[in-house]
C-alpha cells in the first residue's frame, strides 16, 4: 500500500513537534529528564542493534537462546492463525525465531516509534516471508489503542522482548500491561522478555561496554537534538553515565555535563553545571516473584516461564 506523501510529511511533522515539546519540558524539569523513546531514531536504533552484539551485553543472545529452545512450545500455546503483535520491534531479529516456528500466522504487526527503521524491517520481512502479512504500525506503544483492521478477529499474541518492560517504572509497566490486555483482548496473550536480578558488576559491565557503543547510543540523543531541534550540544563536553542501584533494582542511565556550559535547544537556552546529569533511561531488573506480581497487577497470569541455565534472563508466556 502506498502512503500519500502529504500524510507522511504530516506524520513526520507531528513526530518532530512532540519531540520538541518533550525535550523542552524535560530540560525545564528538576531533575532533568528526556523520555527514553527518543533515543530510538534511525541511528539510535542501529546503535542499539550494535549494543546487542557486544560481548558484555548478555540479554540479547540469552533471550534468543531461550526463544530458540522454546519456540515450538510458544507456538503451541499461541495456537494457529493468530496475529503476532510486537511492541517496539526494532530490527525484529528475535521475532524471526517465532515466525519460523509459527508458519500459519494470520499476520505480523510490528510497532515502533522509528518510522525509517520500521519501514526497513517490514520490507526485509516481506522479502524473507513472502506468504506473511506484515502490517507495521508507527507510534508509541504506550499510547496505542487500536490495531490495523486487516487482522480482523484473529487471536492476538503480543510480543515484548528485550526486557524493554524494564525501561518502564513499575507503575508504568503495570499501565502498559493493562493497555496491552485491552488491545490483545480477553483471549489474547503476551510473550514477555525480562532481565533478571544478578551480580551488580555483570549488570554494570553490560551498560558500559569497552567498545563504547552504549556511550554512542546515549550521546546520539544530543546529536538528534542538534539535527532536529537546532540545538548546539558539543558531544565532547558530555559523557554517558550508567550505574546500577541495588536498592532500586535498576540500571540508571544519564548523559552528564563535563563542565559548566550553556546550550541552546529550539531557541531556548539552558545552563548545565559541571557534573549535572540528564536522565534518559531506567532498566529495571526482576526476579520470578516480581514478574508474577507485575503480571497479576496488569491483568495477566503466568502460563509458562522459561530461563537460561544460570538464570540471567527470563521469557514468560502471560495469559
Q: Which residue has the cell 495469559?
A: 319
- Is the pLDDT at 278 greater than 80, yes or no? yes
Burial tier of 96 (Cβ tally within 10 Å: 0-12, 13-18, 19+): middle
Every domain of the chain and the residues it spans = 32-55+210-284, 58-198+286-318
According to CATH, the topology of domain 58-198+286-318 is Rossmann fold (3.40.50)
For the chain, percent of residues with pLDDT exceeding 90: 84
Average pLDDT, the chain: 93
- Is the pLDDT at 194 greater than 90, yes or no? yes
Q: What is the pLDDT of residue 248?
A: 96
Q: Which residue has the cell 525509517?
A: 116
Q: What is the pLDDT of residue 52?
A: 93
Query: Average pLDDT, stretch 205-231?
Result: 98
Q: Give the SS3 label for residue 10.
A: helix
Q: What is the pLDDT of residue 90?
A: 66
- Closest of 148, 151, 149, 147 to residue 180, by C-alpha: 147
SS3 content of the chain, % helix, strand, coil (to 5): 45, 25, 30
Q: What is the pLDDT of residue 84?
A: 97
- Is the pLDDT at 317 greater than 80, yes or no? yes
Read off the DSSP letter of residue 105: -
Sign for the CA dihedral angle at 134, 306, 288, 155 comes to positive
Query: Average pLDDT, stretch 167-178?
Result: 96
For the chain, percent of residues with pLDDT exceeding 70: 96
Amino acid at each position: 500500500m502506498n502512503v500519500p506523501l502529504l500524510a507522511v510529511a504530516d506524520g513526520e511533522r507531528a513526530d518532530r513537534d512532540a519531540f520538541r515539546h518533550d525535550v523542552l519540558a524535560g530540560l525545564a524539569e528538576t531533575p532533568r529528564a528526556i523520555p527514553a523513546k527518543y533515543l530510538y531514531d534511525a541511528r539510535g536504533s542501529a546503535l542499539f542493534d550494535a549494543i546487542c552484539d557486544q560481548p558484555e551485553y548478555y540479554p540479547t543472545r540469552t533471550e534468543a537462546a531461550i526463544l530458540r529452545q522454546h519456540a515450538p512450545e510458544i507456538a503451541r500455546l499461541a495456537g494457529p492463525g493468530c496475529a503476532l503483535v510486537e511492541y517496539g520491534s526494532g530490527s525484529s531479529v528475535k521475532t524471526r525465531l517465532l515466525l519460523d516456528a509459527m508458519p500459519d500466522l494470520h499476520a505480523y504487526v510490528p510497532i515502533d516509534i522509528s518510522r525509517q527503521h520500521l519501514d526497513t524491517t517490514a520490507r526485509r520481512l516481506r522479502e524473507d516471508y513472502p506468504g506473511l502479512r506484515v502490517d507495521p504500525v508507527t507510534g508509541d506503544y504506550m499510547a496505542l489503542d487500536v490495531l490495523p483492521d486487516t487482522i480482523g478477529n484473529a487471536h492476538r499474541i503480543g510480543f515484548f522482548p528485550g526486557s524493554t518492560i524494564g525501561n518502564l517504572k513499575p507503575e508504568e509497566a503495570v499501565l502498559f500491561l493493562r493497555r496491552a490486555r485491552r488491545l490483545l483482548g480477553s483471549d489474547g496473550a503476551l510473550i514477555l522478555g525480562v532481565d533478571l536480578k544478578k551480580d551488580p558488576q555483570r549488570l554494570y559491565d553490560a551498560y558500559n561496554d569497552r567498545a563504547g557503543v552504549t556511550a554512542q547510543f546515549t550521546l546520539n540523543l544530543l546529536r538528534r537534538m542538534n539535527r532536529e531541534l537546532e540545538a548546539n550540544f558539543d558531544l565532547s563536553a558530555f559523557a554517558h553515565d550508567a550505574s546500577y542501584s541495588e536498592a532500586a533494582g535498576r540500571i540508571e542511565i544519564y548523559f552528564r555535563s563535563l563542565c559548566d556550559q550553556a546550550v541552546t535547544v529550539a531557541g531556548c537556552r539552558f545552563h548545565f553545571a559541571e557534573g549535572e546529569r540528564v536522565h534518559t533511561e531506567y532498566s529495571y531488573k526482576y526476579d520470578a516473584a516480581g514478574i508474577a506480581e507485575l503480571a497479576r497487577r496488569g491483568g495477566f497470569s503466568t502460563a509458562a516461564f522459561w530461563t537460561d541455565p544460570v538464570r540471567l534472563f527470563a521469557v514468560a508466556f502471560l495469559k
